[in-house]
Structure 1
Amino acid sequence: MRHSVSTRPAGAGAGVSIGSVGVALTVLLAGTGCDPRGDEAQGQQHDSGQAAGVREFHEQDLTWEECGGELECAQVEVPLDYDEPEGQTLHLALTRLPAQDEAPEGSLLVNPGGPGGSGTEYAAAAAHVISPDVRENFDVVGFDPRGVGESDPIECLEESELDAYLGAELEPADPDSPGALTSESRQELEQRISEFVDSCVDNAGDLLEHLGTDNVARDMDVLRAVLGDEGLTYLGKSYGTLIGAHYAELFPEQVRALVLDGAVDPTLTNVQMSAQQASGFHTALEAFLEDCLDRADCPLSADTVPEGVDELGELIADAREEPLPGPEGDDRMVNGARVELGLASSLYSEQSWPQVRSALDSAYAGDGAGLLELADRMYNRQPGGNYTNMVAALNAVNCADRPSPESVAEVEQAAQDAAAEAPLFGASLVWGALICSEWPVGVDRSPAELTGQGASDIVVVGTTRDSATPYSWSEELADDLDSGVLLTYDGDGHTAYGTGNGCVDEQVDAYILDGVAPEEGVTCPAQ
C-alpha cells in the first residue's frame, strides 16, 4: 500500500526512543580514556605477563569437550582484577571449530562485536563467516568476553522490564526539533535510566568494576597463551576492533595478525561517538532509499531520497500517535520507537533490504509485525520473549570505558545537532549516552589514541557506507596505529570480511595465512 509523501520536515515529531540507546548490535562506544595498561602495568615490558601472578593463568590446561557437530567447548579461568590476580576469578566460555588440517598453524581468535556479542556463537557459525582456506589451517576459537553470554554474564532488567525500556518513547519539546525533550519526558528518561542502573548494580556486584575493554584485552592474552600460540591471530568486528586495538597497545610484541573490521574510533567521547554513528546510519539509510526507489516493489511513493527520509519520518510519527499491531499473541504494540529500531536494524546488511521493503509494505497496510521482527533482532530478543544479556553488557562496557557526559544540557544540545543531520536516528542515539552519567564505574580522563607501537602490520577494514561504524572511524584507527594498514570496501553494510566480497576476502585471507598485509590504498569495489 502506497501513501503520499509527507510535507512534514524529515523526522519531525518522530520523538525519541529509549530503545535506541547504544543502538548498534555489533559496535559502539568502547575504548578507554586512560592508558589501557593501567597504573600497575605502566613501565613494564610488553610481554605475556601483565603482573607476576597472572603467569599461572597462562599455564592452565584446557579440557575440550564435544558440544555439537564438529564443535568443541571449554572454559578458561582469568582474574577478575588483574591488579590482584590472586583474588576472585572468572570463567570464560570458549567454542572451537578445529582446523581441517591435522597440523594447524595455530588458532584464529574471533569476536563479532557488541559490546555484548557472543564469540562462541560466532565461532559456531565459522563455516559461514570464515573462508575455507583459513578454516583449513587455523582452529577458529570464539570466546564470550567477561560479563557476556556464558562468561559470568551481567544481568540487569527482567525481560518484561526490558521490553518496556526498549519500547519507551519520549515527547519532543518542539515537533520540528526532535532533539529537545519536554521537562516531563526528560524526567521520565532519567527515571528509567536510574531503574536500569540500579538493577545492574544490585545484580552485578564486584563484576561491574572490571568489565572494561582493557580487561577483555588482557583476557585475550591469557587465551593466546593457553591455546599455545606464540603470537595472536585475531579477527575482531565492530566493537571487537577495540578489543584488538587495546591488545596491540598492551602486547604489541605478541601480535601475529590482527584484522579489525568495521573499526571504532577510540579517541571519541560517548556523545561524539553517538552523534557520528547517527550520521553513519543516515548514510546507510540514504543508500537503502536510493536502491528502493528504483525498484517496482518499493513501498514508498517518494521520488527522491530526501522525500523518502521524510516519508519514513512520517511513518515513525504516525506509529507514535497510533501504534501498529504486532504478530498474533504478542501484546507489544509497534510504536514509533519500535519502527525506528526496525529500520535501524535493517541497515546493518544489504541482505536485509528485501525484508525491510516487505515490512514497510505491511506497515503501510496496518501490520507492524515485520518491523517488530527486525527491531527484536537488534537486541537479540528471541521469539519466546527471552533476551541475551546484550543490553546489560553493552551499557556496562560503554560506560566503564569512557568519560560520562558532563551535563544533561550537553547531551540535549548534541541531540539537537544530530537530529538536524540524521533526523530519524540522531536524537535517540545521542540521548542514549545519558545513561553513563549515572553509571557508578567510569573514567575521568579524555579518550586517547591507541598506537600499538612495536606491533607488526595490523589490517583495518572499512566499509564506505557502513551504518554502525562510519568509514571515517576505520580511517582514523588505521592512521593512529603505528602499523595500521587500511583496506577499503566501497560498499554497503556493517563490516566486510565474510560477507560475499571476493576482493576483501582474498586480501584478508592472504594476511591471516601468510602475514602479508594489503598494499596501502587498496579499495575493493562492490560486486
Structure 2
Amino acid sequence: MDTSRLLRTTGTVMAAAGLLLVGCTSGGAAGPKAAASSAPASVDPAALRPYYEQKLSWRDCGVPGFQCSTMKAPLDYAEPGSGQDVEIAVARRPATGPGKRLGSLVVNPGGPGGSGIGYLQAYAGIGYPAPVRARYDMVSFDPRGVDRSSPVECLTGPAMDKYTQVDQTPDDAAERALLVAAFKEFAAGCQARSQRVLPHVSTVEAARDMDLLRAVLGDEKLTYVGASYGTFLGATYADLFPDRVGRLVLDGAMDPSRPAVDLNRDQTAGFETAFTAFTKDCAKQEGCPLGTGGPEAVAARLKEFFRKLDAQPVPTGDAARPLGEALATTGVIAALYDESAWPQLREALTAAMDGDGASLLSLADSYYERSPDGKYANLMSANAAVNCLDQPPAFTGPDAVRSALPSFEKASPVFGTGLAWASLNCTYWPVKATGTAKPLAAKGAAPILVVGTTRDPATPYKWAQALADQLDSGTLLTYDGDGHTAYGRGSDCIDTSINRYLLEGKVPPKDKKC
C-alpha cells in the first residue's frame, strides 16, 4: 500500500536506470557565507563554519573502485553547534580520466528515501556515460533519514508485511477504520523508533546538507543530476543557493507549486497514462492476459481482477503473504515505471490470473525494497517522513478522501480509489509539516536543465513544463516516450544533449524534443 508520491528512477525500482552530473571548480570552496543564505536569520554564520570546514576522511567501501566517508551536519539548522548532529554517509568514485577533472558530480535517485550510495555503487558510478565518469568524481550521499544516514525506522519486517497488505480500497466503515488504524500504527511506530530525527528530515534540510557536501568536496559550485524526487531536492537547493549552482540536470521533474492533494491526483493520472500505453502494447502480444479491446475494456478487466483478489487472495508460496488487491496493485505500479518491465508484468498477471501470485508479489517486493529474508530497507519509512514534513497532509480525514474520490477515479479508473486512500498517510503524522507548496525560481542561478518524459507514470510531463517555467534559468528538454525519467534509458538524443551540457556547459535549444 502507500504508493503515493514515491518518486524514484526506474533503476531503484527494478534493476538500474540512469542520471547524474557535477560541476566545474575554479578554486577553493565557498564556506559559511554560502550557508548563511539558507540558515535562520537568528543564526550566526560563524556557528556553521566548523561544518563547512570539516575534512572528509575517505576509506575503502568494500566495493571495488569506490570510497566512503561520513560528514557531520546540524540536526537542527536553527541550532548548529549544539552537539546534536547527524552523520551523513557519502561515497564517491574518483574520475577515471582521460581528460581534465571537472569536479564532483553529485547524483540523487529520488524517493524520497532512495539510497544515493546504493544507486551510485549499483549504477551511476559504473553505468553513466564513460566521458562523464572520466571527467567527474561520481559522488552521492544518503540524505538524512535514509539508509546509512540516521535512518528513520517505523515498523519491524513482520509488521511491514501486514501493513503492505491492508485493504487500500475500503468498501465500508469497518474497512475504512482498519485503514486509518494502519496509518496511525505506522506513524506511531515512526515516532517511537525515530523521535530524534523525525522533525529534521525535510527536503530543505537535505538541500542544506548538500551545500555542506559541495563545500567539503572542494567545489565552488554544485553540479548535480537529480532524478524524480531528486529534481525537487535540486530545485530546492537552487532556490536556497542560486549563486552556488553549477550545472544542474533535473530529470523526471516535480512541480513544487502543487499542493499534496494535486500532486497525488496528478500522479494517479500519470499511472493511468502509463497503464494505457502498457495495454496497447500488451494487445499486440500473443496471450495478453488482459485481452484486447479499447483501454476502457482492458482497464475494466484489471479492475475486476483486483476486485476478485480483494475478496479472495491467491497463493504466492508464502502463507503469510497471499496476493491480495493491495500487493497486486503495488506490483502492477512497480512495473509501470519502465517499459522494459512490461514483459515481466504480462507474465506476472498471467500467472496471478491462473492462481499463482508469486511473480506479482515479487514485483511488489521490489517496489518496497523487501529482501527475501523479510527485512525491508527504510525506503517507505523515509518516504513518509520527508513527504509529511515537506507539505501539509493531502486530506484532513476519511470524509475528505470520500469527497475527492470522484476526481481520483476520473484520473484513473483502475488506480484512483487506492491512490486516493493512500494519500491519507500524512493525516496522522506525529510531526507538523514545516514546508508548503510554492514555486521555486532560483533567481540568479546559472542555466538549469529540466527533463520531462511525455508518458512518465510517476512525474507527469506537465510537472516538468511547470518547473522549467518557474525557474528563472530553466530550460526544458522533452523526451517523447514511455517510462520514468529519460537520461540513460536508450535515447541517443537525450543522452547527447545532457552529456554536452554536463561536459561543455552548453544548454540544448529552447524546448528541444527527442
TM-score by length of 2: 0.90
> Structure 1 residues 128, 341: CA separation in 2 closer, same or farther (over 3 Å shift)?
farther
User: Residue 95 of structure 1: SS of its match in structure 2?
Assistant: strand
- What are the residue-to-residue correspondences of 1:269-348 with 2, within 5 Å? 269-326=259-316, 328-329=317-318, 331-348=320-337
Work out whether residues 51 and 83 of structure 1, in 8 Å CA contact, stay in contact via their aligned partners in 2: no
User: Residue 169 of structure 1: SS of its match in structure 2?
Assistant: coil
1:51 aligns with 2:40: no
> Structure 1 residues 21, 447: CA separation in 2 closer, same or farther (over 3 Å shift)?
closer
> Post-superposition shift, 1:297?
4.0
Paired residue for 1:141? Answer: 139
Q: Which amino acid aligns with 2:110?
A: G
1:80 aligns with 2:75: yes
2:117 aligned residue (94, 107, 120): 120
> Structure 1 residues 483, 311: CA separation in 2 closer, same or farther (over 3 Å shift)?
same
Which blocks of at least 5 consecutive residues in structure 1 are unaligned? 1-17, 28-36, 174-181
> Structure 1 residues 342, 234: CA separation in 2 closer, same or farther (over 3 Å shift)?
same
1:169 aligned residue (167, 170, 173): 167
Paired residue for 2:3? Answer: 20
Work out whether residues 94 and 142 of structure 1, in 8 Å CA contact, stay in contact via their aligned partners in 2: yes
- What are the residue-to-residue correspondences of 1:207-222 with 2, within 5 Å? 207-222=197-212
Work out whether residues 313 and 323 of structure 2, in 8 Å CA contact, stay in contact via their aligned partners in 1: yes
Rounded Cα–Cα distance in structure 1 between residues aligned with 2:435 and 2:52: 31
> Post-superposition shift, 1:442?
3.0
Rounded Cα–Cα distance in structure 2 between residues aligned with 1:204 and 1:364: 40
1:150 aligns with 2:148: yes
Work out whether residues 105 and 138 of structure 1, in 8 Å CA contact, stay in contact via their aligned partners in 2: yes
Paired residue for 2:106? Answer: 109
User: Residue 491 of structure 1: SS of its match in structure 2?
Assistant: strand
User: Residue 197 of structure 2: SS of its match in structure 1?
Assistant: helix
> Structure 1 residues 448, 345: CA separation in 2 closer, same or farther (over 3 Å shift)?
same
Rounded Cα–Cα distance in structure 2 between residues aligned with 1:364 and 1:206: 46
User: Residue 111 of structure 2: SS of its match in structure 1?
Assistant: coil
- What are the residue-to-residue correspondences of 1:120-519 with 2, within 5 Å? 120-124=117-121, 125-127=123-125, 129-170=127-168, 172-173=170-171, 182-326=172-316, 328-329=317-318, 331-404=320-393, 405-443=395-433, 446-519=436-509
> Structure 1 residues 309, 520: CA separation in 2 closer, same or farther (over 3 Å shift)?
same
> Post-superposition shift, 1:26?
5.1
Rounded Cα–Cα distance in structure 1 between residues aligned with 2:324 and 2:295: 24
RMSD over equivalenced CA pairs, Å = 2.1
Rounded Cα–Cα distance in structure 2 between residues aligned with 1:38 and 1:306: 54
1:96 aligns with 2:92: yes
Paired residue for 1:64? Answer: 58
Rounded Cα–Cα distance in structure 1 between residues aligned with 2:36 and 2:46: 15
Number of aligned residue pairs: give it.
485
Work out whether residues 330 and 367 of structure 2, in 8 Å CA contact, stay in contact via their aligned partners in 1: yes
TM-score by length of 1: 0.88
Q: Which of 1 and 2 has higher RCO (CA within 8 Å, sep 6+)?
A: 1
> Structure 1 residues 442, 478: CA separation in 2 closer, same or farther (over 3 Å shift)?
farther
Write the deviation string for residues 259-294 of structure 1: whole angstroms up to 9, x where unpaired.
Answer: 000011111121111111000000000001111101
> Structure 1 residues 396, 38: CA separation in 2 closer, same or farther (over 3 Å shift)?
farther
> Post-superposition shift, 1:52?
2.7
Work out whether residues 229 and 253 of structure 2, in 8 Å CA contact, stay in contact via their aligned partners in 1: yes
Work out whether residues 323 and 336 of structure 1, in 8 Å CA contact, stay in contact via their aligned partners in 2: yes
User: Residue 508 of structure 2: SS of its match in structure 1?
Assistant: coil
Q: Which amino acid aligns with 1:362?
A: A
Q: Which amino acid aligns with 2:87?
A: H
User: Residue 195 of structure 2: SS of its match in structure 1?
Assistant: helix
> Structure 1 residues 39, 105: CA separation in 2 closer, same or farther (over 3 Å shift)?
closer
